[in-house]
Structure 1
Amino acid sequence: MPCLVLASVGWWMWPQQPPTGPPHIAEGTVQADLLGPASVSRVAGTTLVAGAQSDRPGAELKVSPSDCAIAAGPTTQSVYGQEWSAFQSATYRDSRATGSATVNQVIGVYPNTKKAAAAFATLTGGLAKCPSSTRTDEGGRTSKWAYKARPATEVAVAWTAAQDTDASWSCAHQAQVSGRSLVQVAVCRAGDGGATASKLASSLAGKVRR
């Protein structure tokens, strides 16, 4: 099951930082704005622990049709580009490592609100172009995904990504623009994770807005 999560959003390409005990997080940094595992666990209704982190978006994914690079990799350079001034992602996984639940948070901070809005427009435009895609990983394995996006507002969009081999399991995504930041949350689990993704994304947007 964990491979499904990684394939859906391209997190497998990001360098992972092995746990070495609780890191020192300086107040006011983008790392400090991330929601902690305990807070996310309360909203998700399951115990989650810290997993992979990255301080930069991953490379554009290999996907067919090529217009689906954004839908398949919404947290990659396809959306966040190169003009961000700070970036952080964190993946939390179920404590028993069964792959039954994964939550990913992403914060991309830009020099100004115009650039953040442009990245959000890139995301919503890419989602509108792609109902489904075929993803190819580094090992040459392919997987098919279907995407369903709700109508976007000026500052938020929600969508789901589901792999055709498991109809009961999918990733619920929500992205929001908050000032100079574009934040995203993905909740991957059996059942509907949309409400959880929405609550977490709103909380994350509130933290970066302060």
Structure 2
Amino acid sequence: MSNKGVPDSTWSGVAGPEPKTRMRRLRVIVPLAGFLAVLIAGLAWWQWPSDADSVGPVAGTVQAAVLSSKEVSAAVGETLNSETRASRPANLLQADPPECSVAVGPATMAVYEGGWTAFLTVVHQDSAAAPEHTATQTVGRYATADQARSALENLSEGINACKSAVRAASDGGTTTKWTYRVEGSTADTLQWTATQDQAGGWSCYREARLKSSTLLQVAVCEVGDGRTAAHSIADRIAGRVQ
């Protein structure tokens, strides 16, 4: 599929490191069983994404709230090896009509416009060049619960006010048109779907949650139904937010 996009993505995914294969002449005789065990373990590692930091992030930080590549891959049901991170919200995206800037960029400065004390967006994809599955986790922590609630209210108002919009490509490429549909909301949550026009069913299933002074968002984009995966990831992030 061509020209598929993520509504609030303004950077290109960077492929993760791939394992290097080296052939070396063995100078000692290695038992066959031991060699096979090493080979099988190496193949398993190559097939599944590895966590970048084996030690793990500090508890209570936004880094500790997001799921690892393994966990996201398990939730989506696909191996998502490509990972990109950003520690600040992306700039506003150009929208037509302009009042749809929140809808085309729900994890950008349009929503996280100020007052946050810690921020992290992590994008996982099955391919950096032509992804068929994308999962985005966004966690923004504010100084007060009132500030976080204000951000959620801003998000909710922006999504509800926009039924469809054209998003200009940040790199000067092809513009994309999106249709938005709110599927559920409470005082502390919002679920909605963004479907790209003429993209063969490419949709982003989104969920936002307010927990204390943190506003978190999850988006699972694919041709299919990513609602369950998005809800599962949001559940797990919310459980880690302190």
TM-score, normalization by structure 1: 0.89
Q: Which runs of 5+ in 1 are unaligned?
A: none
Q: Distance in 2 between matches of 1:17 and 1:96?
A: 6
Partner of 2:116: 84
Residue of structure 2 aligned with 1:114, choices 119, 143, 146: 146
Note if contact 2:64-2:240 (Cα within 8 Å) is conserved in structure 1.
Answer: no
Larger CA deviation: 176-185 vs 159-168: 159-168
Partner of 1:12: 10
- Give the structure with the larger helix fraction: 1
Distance 1:64 1:46, change over 3 A: same
| SS of structure 1 residue aligned to 2:100 | helix
Partner of 1:182: 215
Q: Distance in 1 between matches of 2:127 and 2:174?
A: 28
Note if contact 1:5-1:102 (Cα within 8 Å) is conserved in structure 2.
Answer: no
Residue of structure 2 aligned with 1:62, choices 51, 74, 94: 94
Shift of residue 140, structure 1, vs aligned partner? 5.7
One-letter amino acid of the structure 1 residue matched with residue 139 of structure 2: I
Q: Given the alignment of the two structures, is residue 22 of structure 1 paired with residue 55 of structure 2, yes or no? A: no
Q: Distance in 2 between matches of 1:18 and 1:99?
A: 11
Partner of 2:176: 143
Q: Distance in 2 between matches of 1:179 and 1:134?
A: 33
Shift of residue 48, structure 1, vs aligned partner? 1.3
Q: Distance in 2 between matches of 1:96 and 1:60?
A: 23
Note if contact 1:47-1:95 (Cα within 8 Å) is conserved in structure 2.
Answer: no
Q: Which runs of 5+ in 2 are unaligned?
A: 18-50
Q: Given the alignment of the two structures, is residue 43 of structure 1 paired with residue 45 of structure 2, yes or no? A: no
Q: Distance in 1 between matches of 2:3 and 2:208?
A: 23
One-letter amino acid of the structure 2 residue matched with residue 4 of structure 1: K
Shift of residue 18, structure 1, vs aligned partner? 7.8
Moved over 3 A (4+): 16-21, 23-26, 95-98
Larger CA deviation: 186-195 vs 131-140: 131-140
TM-score, normalization by structure 2: 0.78
| SS of structure 2 residue aligned to 1:79 | coil
The superposition leaves residues 156-204 of structure 1 with CA deviations (integer Å, 9 ceiling, x where unpaired) of 1111111111242211000000111000000001111111111111111
Number of residue-to-residue matches in the alignment: 206
Note if contact 2:15-2:127 (Cα within 8 Å) is conserved in structure 1.
Answer: no
Residue of structure 1 aligned with 2:64, choices 21, 32, 35: 32
Shift of residue 13, structure 1, vs aligned partner? 4.2
Note if contact 1:13-1:59 (Cα within 8 Å) is conserved in structure 2.
Answer: no
* Rg comparison, structure with higher value: 2
